[in-house]
């Protein structure tokens, strides 16, 4: 029941209840007054009749009592007058006129008990009040009953019954009450009108506030309440309008802008009130900001990506997703993590995207790609072939310095897509917060890689060994494997610089680096140790394998001719070999041993490969 109906019911019930109460009180008061009056009249008339009869008996004219009764009946309202003699009086004086015997039960009771009684009855369709009063024999007082009656003291000599018609009294009563009822009716109407006028501003203000608050819940704060009074209701309207004005200037603008923040959520306008959606997005923005604060303190990119995976799993409750990083040359994609598939090498997309990044639609267009509502928007998506039911996907590009630096791919069922109807917008919030941190870490990693690489050959330099060799050797020891160290040096390289110039010398260094790249495995590490010296680290290789690779490098170098402005140039190389941890407890110790073997190879005629032995190490070799 709304407030307007409640007001109507309250006004009607209050007015009606007051009228009923006043009417009942008035009628009851009149009834009480009228009945009390008729009782007094009956008692007085009965007492006067008793006195009159007693006087007639004293004067000896009791036989004329019929005339007395006739005169009494002329009194308006007095319809019945009767005298009933007691048994002893009947015995002494006879039955009297018409027998003068008790006819009603009330008369018999009064005659038996000596106590007066009264009753209201209906006779012939008329209301009648009847009172019966006893005559008690007494020898005291102004009249001694025992002088005439041969009865004992206190005997009931007889009773007098008077009957009064109540019709005239009721008529007079209603004539008196009717004006009061009319007054009460007028009062009730006036009260109802007053209550209506009293509650009308409250009802109108409440209905207006209800409608405006409902609109505000949908993000519309333009409504205003019309103030119809200057009392507290008017103040409520004024304060409500002030609040709406403030909300319109704050949340209203925020809501309208959030609708276009990263693309407004699909279906949010039909499934959620805009204000609720705004609160949800604000919560997500706060969460994304806290996420950024967390990743800013992460150690490296691996920790950042692990944290991002946790957000997707725990916050968004997703189990199928992946992230691809655009490589520096922007021609290839690298899968950083892929979740929801059994095989670690499997992808949600055609593996061709890893070879050519332009095949990826999100990378090529730098725009979000969603299959919700467009099932085959991207032909490279392979989720439907995974036997997991109908799946949809959303690929969100992460922009780094105006270019696509990565692609976040979310794979969902239809139920998940319906539950996360704004996932594109909210996931983009987290992605945008992580983007500058990821870009900064990638830049730092790139700078670090640059600082650790030789610009001429592209090989790692000595700084790389200093920073990472402890982790590398720890893994070797933990796996109970071995690490081969090949220290390479170009024979008579100084003559090249002196004879042909430093340009040709640099050409020899670059050419040797290319030869080494072609010979070593992808798991091996080539390092330009300094000048014409190269250090090659062979992972999981024994002494025989180290010697075979060293000989292959030496032979390749021996047969290769460098093309110079002065003609072809051939050079040889000497290589010293040691094995960690077979030759020494520490890497740097084994590095000295390989350098010692290189020194012995140079001393023994150059263009040869020597494996370190303990006999090569002497006190004068230590440095």
On the question of pLDDT at 114 being above 60, the answer is yes
DSSP 615: G
Per DSSP, the three-state class of 65 is helix
For residues 14-39, average pLDDT: 66
On the question of pLDDT at 267 being above 50, the answer is no
Q: What is the pLDDT of residue 45?
A: 75
Question: CB-based burial of residue 545 (10 Å sphere; 0-12 exposed, 13-18 middle, 19+ buried)?
Answer: middle
Going by pLDDT thresholds of 50, 70 and 90, the confidence category of residue 397 is very high
For residues 74-82, average pLDDT: 76
DSSP string, 93-162: H-S-GGGG---SHHHHHHHHH---EEEEEEETTEEEEEEEEEEE--SSSS--GGGT----TT-EEEEEEE
For residues 466-486, average pLDDT: 88
Question: What is the torsion angle, in degrees rounded to the nearest 10, for the CA atoms of residue 278, residue 280, residue 286 and residue 287?
Answer: -150
Percent of the chain with pLDDT over 90: 30
**Strand 156-165 relative to strand 117-123: parallel, antiparallel, unpaired?**
unpaired
Greater confidence, 250 or 588? 588
pTM: 0.50
For residues 58-79, average pLDDT: 73
On the question of pLDDT at 579 being above 70, the answer is yes
Determine if residue 363 is left, alpha or beta; phi over 0 gives left, psi from -120 to 50 gives alpha, anything else beta. alpha
For residues 540-547, average pLDDT: 92
Rounded-to-integer distance, Cα 10 and Cα 2, Å: 12
Going by pLDDT thresholds of 50, 70 and 90, the confidence category of residue 619 is very low
On the question of pLDDT at 541 being above 70, the answer is yes
CB-side neighbour CA atoms (13 Å) of 92: 14
Per-residue pLDDT tens digits for 331-346:
889 999 999 998 777 8
Q: What is the pLDDT of residue 558?
A: 92
On the question of pLDDT at 60 being above 90, the answer is no
Beta-bridged to residue 213, according to DSSP, are none
Q: What is the pLDDT of residue 597?
A: 94
Q: What is the pLDDT of residue 209?
A: 80
DSSP string, 181-233: HHHHHHHHHHHHHHHHHHHHHHHHHHHHHHHHHHHHHTT----------SSHH
CA dihedral sign of residues 58, 63, 67, 73:
positive
Q: What is the pLDDT of residue 280?
A: 78
Query: 219-228, 360-369, 582-591 — which is least confidently predicted?
Result: 219-228
Greater confidence, 554 or 277? 554
On the question of pLDDT at 252 being above 70, the answer is no
Percent of the chain with pLDDT over 70: 85
Per-residue pLDDT tens digits for 121-132:
887 777 888 888
On the question of pLDDT at 90 being above 60, the answer is yes
Task: Indicate the average pLDDT of the chain.
Answer: 82
Structure token digits, residue 619: 């006190």
Per DSSP, the three-state class of 257 is helix
Question: CB-based burial of residue 322 (10 Å sphere; 0-12 exposed, 13-18 middle, 19+ buried)?
Answer: buried
Going by pLDDT thresholds of 50, 70 and 90, the confidence category of residue 219 is low
Rounded-to-integer distance, Cα 87 and Cα 66, Å: 21
Greater confidence, 100 or 391? 391
475-478 — which CB contacts under 8 Å span 24+ positions?
476/539, 476/580, 476/581, 477/581
Structure token digits, residue 615: 């006999």
For residues 93-113, average pLDDT: 80
Query: Which residues does 60 contact at the CB level (< 8 Å), separation at least 6?
Result: none
For residues 341-369, average pLDDT: 90
Greater confidence, 63 or 120? 120
- How far lies 17's CA from each of 24, 183, 193, 215, 371, in Å? 10, 15, 15, 39, 68
Going by pLDDT thresholds of 50, 70 and 90, the confidence category of residue 270 is very low
Structure token digits, residue 251: 């949340």
The domains located in the chain, with CATH, are 3-172 (3.30.450.20), 317-419 (3.30.450.40), 453-621 (3.30.70.270)
On the question of pLDDT at 592 being above 90, the answer is yes
Residue 263: which of 176, 337, 369, 340 has the closest Cα? 369
Rounded-to-integer distance, Cα 218 and Cα 199, Å: 29
On the question of pLDDT at 319 being above 70, the answer is yes
Going by pLDDT thresholds of 50, 70 and 90, the confidence category of residue 272 is very low
Q: What is the pLDDT of residue 304?
A: 92
For residues 467-474, average pLDDT: 86
Per-residue pLDDT tens digits for 514-535:
999 999 988 889 999 888 899 9
Greater confidence, 462 or 223? 462
CA dihedral sign of residues 614, 618, 621, 623:
positive
On the question of pLDDT at 583 being above 70, the answer is yes
Q: What is the pLDDT of residue 255?
A: 60
Residues 577, 612 contacting (CB under 8 angstroms):
yes
Greatest Cα pair distance in the chain: 188
On the question of pLDDT at 99 being above 70, the answer is no
Structure token digits, residue 580: 């960690």
Per DSSP, the three-state class of 253 is helix
For residues 38-48, average pLDDT: 75
**Strand 609-611 relative to strand 573-580: parallel, antiparallel, unpaired?**
parallel
Question: What is the torsion angle, in degrees rounded to the nearest 10, for the CA atoms of residue 289, residue 293, residue 299 and residue 305?
Answer: -10
- How far lies 202's CA from each of 1, 13, 205, 310, 436, in Å? 16, 19, 5, 53, 56
Q: What is the pLDDT of residue 377?
A: 93
Going by pLDDT thresholds of 50, 70 and 90, the confidence category of residue 265 is very low
């Amino acid at each position: 029941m709304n407030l307007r109906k409640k007001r109507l019911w309250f006004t009607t019930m209050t007015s009606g209840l007051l009228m009923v109460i006043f009417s009942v009180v008035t009628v009851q008061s009149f009834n009480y007054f009228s009945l009390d009056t008729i009782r007094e009249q009956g008692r007085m008339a009965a007492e006067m009749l008793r006195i009159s009869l007693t006087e007639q008996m004293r004067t000896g004219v009791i036989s004329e009592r019929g005339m007395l009764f006739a005169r009494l009946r002329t009194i308006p309202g007095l319809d019945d007058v009767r005298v009933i003699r007691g048994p002893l009086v009947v015995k002494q004086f006879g039955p009297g006129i018409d027998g003068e015997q008790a006819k009603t039960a009330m008369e018999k009771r009064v005659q038996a008990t000596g106590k007066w009684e009264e009753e209201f009855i209906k006779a012939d369709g008329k209301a009648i009040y009847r009172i019966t009063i006893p005559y008690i024999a007494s020898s005291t007082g102004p009249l001694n009953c025992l002088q005439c009656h041969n009865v004992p003291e206190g005997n009931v000599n007889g009773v007098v019954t008077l009957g009064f018609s109540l019709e005239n009294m009721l008529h007079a009563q209603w004539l008196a009450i009717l004006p009061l009822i009319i007054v009460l009716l007028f009062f009730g109407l006036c009260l109802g009108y007053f209550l209506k006028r009293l509650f009308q501003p409250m009802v109108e203000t409440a209905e207006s506030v209800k409608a405006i608050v409902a609109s505000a819940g949908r993000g519309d704060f333009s409504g205003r309440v019309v103030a119809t009074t200057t009392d507290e209701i008017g103040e409520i309207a004024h304060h409500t309008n002030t609040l709406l004005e403030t909300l319109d200037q704050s949340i209203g603008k925020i809501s309208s802008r959030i609708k276009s923040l990263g693309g407004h959520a699909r279906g949010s306008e039909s499934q959620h009130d805009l204000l609720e959606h705004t609160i949800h997005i604000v919560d997500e923005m706060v969460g994304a900001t806290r996420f950024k604060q967390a990743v800013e303190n992460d150690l490296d990119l691996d920790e950042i990506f692990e944290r991002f995976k946790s957000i997707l799993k725990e916050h968004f409750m997703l189990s199928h997703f992946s992230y691809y990083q655009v490589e520096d040359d922007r021609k290839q994609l690298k899968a950083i993590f892929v979740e929801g598939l059994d095989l670690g090498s499997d992808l949600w997309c055609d593996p061709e995207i890893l070879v050519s990044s332009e095949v990826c639609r999100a990378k090529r267009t730098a725009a979000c790609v969603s299959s919700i509502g467009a099932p085959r928007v991207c032909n490279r998506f392979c989720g439907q072939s995974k036997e997991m039911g109908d799946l949809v996907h959303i690929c969100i590009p992460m922009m780094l310095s105006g270019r696509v630096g990565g692609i976040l791919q979310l794979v969902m069922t239809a139920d998940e897509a319906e539950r996360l109807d704004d996932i594109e917008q909210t996931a983009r919030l987290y992605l945008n917060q992580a983007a500058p941190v990821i870009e900064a870490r990638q830049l730092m990693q790139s700078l670090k890689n640059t600082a650790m690489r030789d610009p001429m050959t592209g090989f790692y330099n000595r700084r790389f060994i200093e920073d990472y060799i402890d982790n590398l050797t720890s893994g070797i020891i933990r796996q109970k494997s071995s690490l081969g160290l090949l220290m390479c040096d170009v024979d008579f390289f100084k003559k090249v610089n002196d004879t042909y110039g430093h340009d040709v010398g640099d050409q020899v260094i670059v050419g040797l680096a290319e030869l080494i790249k072609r010979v070593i495995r992808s798991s091996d590490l080539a390092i330009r140790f300094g000048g014409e010296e190269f250090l090659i680290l062979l992972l999981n290789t024994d002494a025989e394998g180290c010697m075979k690779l060293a000989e292959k490098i030496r032979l390749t170098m021996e047969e290769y001719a460098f093309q110079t402005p002065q003609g072809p140039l051939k050079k040889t190389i000497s290589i010293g070999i040691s094995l960690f941890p077979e030759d020494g407890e520490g890497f740097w110790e084994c590095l000295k041993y390989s350098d010692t073997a290189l020194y012995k190879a140079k001393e023994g005629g150059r263009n040869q490969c020597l494996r370190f032995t303990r006999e090569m190490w002497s006190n004068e070799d230590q440095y």
